[in-house]
A and B are shown apart, each in its own frame.
Chain A
Amino acid sequence: MTSSERRSEHCPAAAAQAPGIAVEHLTVGYNGRPAVVDVSLELSSGSICALVGMNGAGKSTLFKALMGFLKPSTGSIRIAGCGLRQAQREQMVAYVPQSEQVDWDFPIRVWDVVMMGRYGAMGPLRWSSGEDRRLVRRALERVDLWTLRDRQIGALSGGQRKRAFLARALAQGARVLLLDEPFSGVDISTERLIIDLLIELRDQGATVLLATHDLESIPSFCDRVVLINRTVLAYGDTSEVFTQANLLRTFSAASPTAQHS
């Protein structure tokens, strides 16, 4: 039994049917200034949802709230029917960061990064078991990085770097994936690989939420779309919501930060 299991009760059995991500009337911001207001979303298991909005529209804020870095001033977040911290302790949530947030000079190998996906399932000393190593290997093979496993992470190309972090999420085996700009700075073949992988995970029941500026690729693999500008402008099936008129509304509205400064 790991320490993370001891700290928390297990989620109710009904959690399997609960939506992967359920956000209700969420208002959250910095130092009492709300950055996103009254956001409600329900993403079912086995779906891919794109989060689209201008810079400063609140995408990062929403992600930070979903990661538990910001405390909501009102509203709630449930992951697979559980509270956020509990879901995190039970390895239900994986996060793939933006490339800009990573220190690529860090003295760490590709293998070590992917192994970090297993830390939550290990004992307090983080000693890897044969099972951990097997899962890491499988994840590395799935994203075609097995032969590069001993490289320092900064020695990878832009697309390979993304794949390394995706492999970490795979090794973690989470049911909910949060990806921040997964396609920025990657070549077309890596984009294809990432999309195929996300589709595969969705078909296995994962809930995927990705913030993206790559509008062209959205209709090809996203089931749902959320358009935001401080609050949800439109949310629903891609075919209904991802329209010219809605996008115009999302990207032409007065800049949300400008209103407040």
Chain B
Amino acid sequence: MDALLAPLLQPMTMVFMQRALAVGAVVAVVCAVLSCFMTLKGWALMGDAVSHAVLPGVVIAYALGLPFALGAFVFGVGSVGLIGAIKQYTRVKEDTVIGLVFTGFFALGLVLISKVRSSVDLSHILFGNLLGITDADLLQTVLISLACLALLLVLRRDLLLFCFDPSHARSIGLNTGALHYLLLTLVSLTAVAGLQTVGIILVVAMLVTPGATAYLLTDRFDRMTALAVLSAVSSTVLGIYASYWLDASTAGCIVVVQTLQFLLVMVLAPRHGLLARRRLS
């Protein structure tokens, strides 16, 4: 029995593993809940854009000793405002504008990191540093995650209605403009939280994949949320273990496990999977 459990329990005796698993799980929960709205709203590209565009904000916040959530918020929402403005006042199409703005912001972030030689380690921001997370980062990440999670849970019905039928949301007096920006703000903040676990490049996977996996498994939103959380947390835990035993990139392991889960579900899902569809048709 001990021989079987040892590989699972032995890493848990180390503090850095305990911390990684705890923070990873908390971040996974908030990312998973948000990912349900992202996939239903069709905002994967927007999520990708916002998560990259927060980089200069994070670097500036680090350099000035401010909470990085603040920098992420300013640049995340700022990038979306800029995308909207360029789309409105020029003839350039939206997907082009999104691609243009987020890479521009991301590049600015890279320049800033290379000039501001502080405690900021580029590779930690790009690829995450879950196993070596500092106390300050850990605290901020957990606080941001819990705040976002609370907002998502309190407003989930309004956000769901906004994703499903903004016209109706508007006609019953909801402020759809505010909901739009609230959702984008939550993406910016959650991206900063996800940055700690998988880094800024892969954070969009956390914001899309769990929702997509769950979407194939159920036709009820509440169950979809629960399944997305299950998928995100389990792949984070498995990914951290895999990274420990293989001595491989933590971020890479987490996202690979997540993607494998999706592929498995895509084939085997009871009603919306490829096999089930073939049987039905």
**What chain B residues lie within 8 Å of A168 (beta carbons)?**
168
- Residues 99 to 150 of chain A near chain B (Cβ within 8 Å): 101-103, 106-109, 112, 116-117, 119-120, 124-126
Contact between B173 and A107, CB atoms less than 8 A apart: no
Contact between A97 and B158, CB atoms less than 8 A apart: no
- Residues 210 to 261 of chain B near chain A (Cβ within 8 Å): 215, 218-221, 223-224
Shortest beta-carbon distance from A240 to chain B in Å = 31
Chain A residue at smallest Cβ distance from B154 = A125
Asked if B182 is at the interface of the complex by the 8 Å CB criterion, the answer is: no
Asked if A62 is at the interface of the complex by the 8 Å CB criterion, the answer is: no
Chain B residue at smallest Cβ distance from A106 = B164
Per the bound structure, the CA–CA distance linking A203 and B88 in Å amounts to: 44
Known: A31-B88, A107-B224. A85 touches B173 (CB 8 A): yes
A-side binding surface: helix, strand, loop or mixed? Answer: mixed
Asked if A67 is at the interface of the complex by the 8 Å CB criterion, the answer is: yes
How many interface contacts (CB-CB < 8 Å) are there between A and B?
A: 72
Contact between A172 and B172, CB atoms less than 8 A apart: yes
| B171: contacting residue among A67, A102, A112, A124, CB under 8 A | A67
- Residues 135 to 176 of chain B near chain A (Cβ within 8 Å): 154, 157-158, 160-161, 163-165, 167-168, 170-174
- Residues 156 to 214 of chain B near chain A (Cβ within 8 Å): 157-158, 160-161, 163-165, 167-168, 170-174
Asked if A235 is at the interface of the complex by the 8 Å CB criterion, the answer is: no
Contact between B40 and A106, CB atoms less than 8 A apart: yes
Contact between B224 and A88, CB atoms less than 8 A apart: no
Contact between B220 and A109, CB atoms less than 8 A apart: yes
Contact between B171 and A95, CB atoms less than 8 A apart: yes
Contact between A107 and B88, CB atoms less than 8 A apart: no
Contact between A95 and B164, CB atoms less than 8 A apart: no
Count chain B residues whose beta carbon lies closer than 8 angstroms to a beta carbon of A. 24
Shortest beta-carbon distance from B147 to chain A in Å = 17
Contact between A91 and B173, CB atoms less than 8 A apart: yes
**What chain B residues lie within 8 Å of A67 (beta carbons)?**
167, 170-171
Known: A69-B167, A107-B215, A125-B154. A90 touches B161 (CB 8 A): no
Contact between A107 and B172, CB atoms less than 8 A apart: no
Contact between B161 and A119, CB atoms less than 8 A apart: yes
Contact between B157 and A95, CB atoms less than 8 A apart: no
Chain B residue at smallest Cβ distance from A85 = B173
**What chain B residues lie within 8 Å of A109 (beta carbons)?**
219-220
Known: A107-B218, A107-B221. A97 touches B168 (CB 8 A): yes
Asked if A40 is at the interface of the complex by the 8 Å CB criterion, the answer is: no
Shortest beta-carbon distance from B107 to chain A in Å = 30
Shortest beta-carbon distance from B159 to chain A in Å = 11
Per the bound structure, the CA–CA distance linking A116 and B88 in Å amounts to: 32
Max chain A C-beta neighbours (<10 A), residue from B40, B165, B221: B165
**What chain A residues lie within 8 Å of B215 (beta carbons)?**
107
Contact between A152 and B219, CB atoms less than 8 A apart: yes
Shortest beta-carbon distance from A139 to chain B in Å = 14
Shortest beta-carbon distance from B134 to chain A in Å = 37
**What chain A residues lie within 8 Å of B163 (beta carbons)?**
106
Contact between B161 and A107, CB atoms less than 8 A apart: no
Contact between B157 and A126, CB atoms less than 8 A apart: yes
Asked if A213 is at the interface of the complex by the 8 Å CB criterion, the answer is: no
Max chain B C-beta neighbours (<10 A), residue from A31, A107, A119: A107
- Residues 1 to 31 of chain A near chain B (Cβ within 8 Å): 4, 31
Asked if A249 is at the interface of the complex by the 8 Å CB criterion, the answer is: no
Per the bound structure, the CA–CA distance linking A108 and B220 in Å amounts to: 5
**What chain A residues lie within 8 Å of B220 (beta carbons)?**
107-109, 152
Contact between A88 and B221, CB atoms less than 8 A apart: no
**What chain B residues lie within 8 Å of A172 (beta carbons)?**
172
Per the bound structure, the CA–CA distance linking A69 and B88 in Å amounts to: 15
Contact between B173 and A4, CB atoms less than 8 A apart: yes
Asked if A93 is at the interface of the complex by the 8 Å CB criterion, the answer is: yes
- B255-273 vs A, CB cutoff 8 Å, 1 = contact: the mask equals 0000000000000000000
Contact between A107 and B219, CB atoms less than 8 A apart: yes
Per the bound structure, the CA–CA distance linking A85 and B40 in Å amounts to: 27
**16 residue pairs bridging A and B, Cβ less than 8 Å apart:** A67-B171, A88-B170, A88-B172, A90-B173, A93-B171, A95-B167, A107-B40, A107-B219, A107-B224, A109-B219, A112-B221, A116-B165, A117-B168, A119-B158, A124-B154, A126-B157
Which residues from chain A sit less than 8 Å from chain B, CB to CB? 4, 31, 67-69, 85, 88-91, 93-95, 97, 101-103, 106-109, 112, 116-117, 119-120, 124-126, 152, 168, 172, 178
Closest 7 CB pairs of A and B: A120-B172, A89-B173, A152-B219, A126-B157, A88-B173, A95-B171, A107-B219
Sample of 7 further A-B pairs with CB below 8 A, known A116-B165, A116-B168, A125-B154: A67-B171, A91-B172, A97-B165, A107-B220, A108-B160, A117-B172, A120-B174
